[in-house]
Every structure is written in structure tokens, then in C-alpha cells.
Amino acid sequence: MLWNIDQTLVDVTKVTRAAYAEAFAEVTGRPLVQLPQMVGYTEPEIFFDALGRNGVSLRADGDSERLLAPFGSEFATRLAARKKLLTEEGTLMPGAAEAVTAVGALANVVQSVLTGSSRPNAMLKLRAFGLDRHLDLAIGGFAGSEVYPKGALLRAARLRAEEKYRADFAERATVYIADSPRDVEAARIGGATSIAVASGRASSAELRDAGADAVLRDLTDLEALVAFVTSAGS
């Protein structure tokens, strides 16, 4: 079972955007005037979109790519400095804590995350709301210093889980729960079952049209969630 974090489990958009804007200006020397696309994207994908939208040349000589690592470090530092604000200005999504607890109690289920955030940023968000104790973050899929889409990260997470637990986690028995059409696509590319939650910008209809295997209005319907998870792959 793999959880998306932002807009699925927590909403820390305001804090994240402030940290992002500061880090972007520090590393590129330009203000973040136009916000990049964020929903369903990884941090590297978001960064390169932000460069293009804010007048930073995307040259082919590798200059832009060399900005990615220092930006990632600066972004993590700025977000960590706002640790207290995550809970003060952010919030758990409805039913999130109960859902993670309920799924964690199921037999033969291993929980982790598949997220567009880097490992430090993801762990910071999860720990702020006490969600990390329910998850095996050693096997999760996190954005790194390379531009890998979430579908590739999902496959890598499954392989790490199989190696650690010495078990066969079949593709369709792997469940990815997230909130955007791009996440539904990532599940399809990774061969996983997708449970979409209409807790982000996408409506239930948009998530169904994207091909989600199941759609929930939010995470408060624990009975439906558990039923979808236990039937995955059958």
C-alpha cells in the first residue's frame, strides 16, 4: 500500500509554497513570479517547470540541471525551518490518520509512501502529523536528484519491498492511493491498483475518467477504503 502525501494525507500548501519561493530565489537569483505545476509532479519536474515559467534559461549545456541539487538542499532547509508552521498553518486531510491506522492493522499489508517530495521533505511532513509511525519509509518512493516520474518510482518501491520482506508483491495487489489524474496514470504505468481520493483539485468524475480503479470522496469512509484495499489484485 503506497500513499501519496500532499492533498491526500496532509495539506501544507501554504507553508510549502513559501519555502519553495525562498529557495528558488536564493538558488536562481530570480523571484518566483509564476507558480509551477505541482499537482501530481515530482520536485525535479516542478523545478524545471518553474525555471521555464520564470525566465531562467533551460540551456542544453547542463547549467539548469546543475541547479537542481543545490535547489533541493535549499528547499529542504527552508521547509525544515518552518517545521512548526506545518501543523499551525497546515492540516491533516479528513480521515487521513484513521485511514492509515486502519490499513496498517490489516494482515499482510505493508504501508509506505509514493510521493513527489524528496525523502527529507516527505519525512518532515509525515512526522509533523504523527503519520510516520504507521509507515515503512525505508521502502518508499521519493523524488531524488534525477527526474524520474512517479510510475518509475512506484516500480522501484515495489522491488525494495520485495527484497526487504522476501515476498512477492504482485503488481495489481500493490495499491497506490492519491488525489490527481497524474497519480492515477503513475499507478497504471507502475502496474498498480489505483484508489483515487477527490481531496485535491480533481473531481471524482475527473479521477474516474483518468481510469482510477476506485474513487472515494475523502478518507472518512474507512469501510469502503478497507474493502478496496483487501480486494486489490483479486
For the stretch 126-150, pLDDT in tens is 999 999 999 999 999 998 755 678 8
- How far is residue 148 from each of residues 42, 142, 151, 175, measured CA to CA in Å? 8, 10, 8, 20
Q: Is the pLDDT of residue 188 over 90?
A: yes
Q: What is the CA radius of gyration of the chain?
A: 17
Q: How confident is the model at residue 234 (pLDDT cuts 50, 70, 90)?
A: low
Q: Which CATH architecture has domain 2-11+91-231?
A: 3-Layer(aba) Sandwich (3.40)
**217-232 as b/e: b if 16+ CB within 10 A:** ebbeeeeebbebbeeb
Cβ count within 10 A of residue 62: 8
Can you give the pTM of this predicted structure?
Answer: 0.93
pLDDT for res 145: 58
Residue 195 backbone class (left: φ over 0; alpha: ψ -120 to 50; beta: rest): beta
Q: How confident is the model at residue 61 (pLDDT cuts 50, 70, 90)?
A: low
Q: Is the pLDDT of residue 60 over 60?
A: no
Q: Strand 10-11 relative to strand 2-3: parallel, antiparallel, unpaired? A: unpaired
Task: For the chain, give every domain's residue range.
Answer: 2-11+91-231, 13-87
Q: Where are the beta strands (DSSP E) in the chain?
A: 2-3, 10-11, 91-92, 112-118, 141-143, 175-178, 193-197, 214-216
Residue whose C-alpha cell is 518512493: 141
Average pLDDT value for residue range 5-27: 96
CA distance 161 to 145: 22
Q: Is the pLDDT of residue 74 over 70?
A: yes
